[in-house]
Amino acid sequence: MGAQRTSFEKLQRDRARKAKQAMKREKRLSGDDSPDDEPTVELTTEGELSAAELLAQIELIHKQLDDKVITFDEFEERKIDLMARLPID
């Protein structure tokens, strides 16, 4: 009998948590204390999302990639995860 694998949702939560930590670390190191003008959108990993929420999360990961908070590989993984959650009728 093999070892039990972690769930996909848990992996997503861990990735989202690490991305948030990296963003905070980058902001702290850059010395940017000014508040953001944009509303904060966090990556969610559970439950169904509306199309607008999915688009907001896709926009967030694009911004993180542009700001070099996440690597291209992390970006691709998250994008695939989000695209897999698109509701198909």
Answer yes or no: is 55 within a domain: yes
Domain count, the chain: 1
Q: Is 33 left (phi over 0), alpha (psi -120 to 50) or beta?
A: alpha
Dihedral of CA 75/77/80/82: which sign? Answer: negative
Structural domain range at position 71: 9-29+46-84
Q: What is the pLDDT of residue 37?
A: 47
Answer yes or no: is 77 within a domain: yes
Answer yes or no: is 38 within a domain: no
Q: Which of 13, 31, 23 is nearest to 68 (CA)?
A: 23
Distance CA 81, CA 61 (A): 11
pLDDT, tens digit (0-9, with 9 covering 90-100), for 22-45: 778 777 777 755 555 444 455 555
Mean pLDDT of the chain: 75
pLDDT, tens digit (0-9, with 9 covering 90-100), for 58-72: 889 999 999 888 899
Q: Residue 40's Cα: distance from chain center in Å?
A: 12
Q: What is the pTM of this model?
A: 0.47
